[in-house]
Amino acid sequence: MTNTSAFIEKLINYLNTVKTGFSAYYDRAPQNRTYPYGVVSGITATDLGEGDLTSFDLELYTDDKKASATEELESLCDDLRNALHNRVISYDGVFAAHVGYEGRDTSDEREDDLSHRRLFFAARIFYL
């Protein structure tokens, strides 16, 4: 049975363990967030019969006022790409998902105090 909420919950929980000081959220970050942080968004799913092919974006933000903001952001991109690519995320009795890296770009959105990148991933989710 399809359970996108369980996948999102497990994905966010895993992302929050990848790097000390990094926080991940779904859809939007709270106002009291700290840097660096990421937001999982843009989830789309295609039915594969026995599961779904799910695509999602991971938008990353760092404090652009820091002199090392760009380097920190690029390092964070690498850390999260390495942590998620070929990762299996599962929930006993509910699903198993294989995550793969799809690409990365910068955002058209500009704010003076933020550095921003977007990573793209796809997950094959098999519901148990």
Domain boundaries, the chain: 4-127
**Mean pLDDT value of segment 73-93:** 95
Nearest by Cα to 57 from 20, 105, 124: 105
Q: Is the peptide bond before 36 cis (omega within 30 degrees of 0)?
A: yes
pLDDT above 80 (res 120): yes
Could you tell me the pTM of the whole model? 0.91
Separation CA 117–CA 128 (nearest Å): 34
Nearest by Cα to 119 from 80, 93, 83: 80
**Structure token pair of residue 69:** 């903001």
Separation CA 128–CA 122 (nearest Å): 19
Q: Grade residue 84 by pLDDT with cuts at 50, 70 and 90.
A: very high
Backbone angles phi, psi at 9, to 5 degrees: -60, -50
pLDDT of residue 64: 81
Rg (CA), the chain: 15
Range with the poorest average pLDDT among 10-14, 25-29, 47-51, 89-93: 47-51
Give the number of other CB atoms < 10 A from CB of residue 48. Answer: 12
CATH architecture of 4-127: 2-Layer Sandwich (3.30)
pLDDT above 70 (res 112): no
Q: Which has the higher per-residue pLDDT, 55 or 65?
A: 55
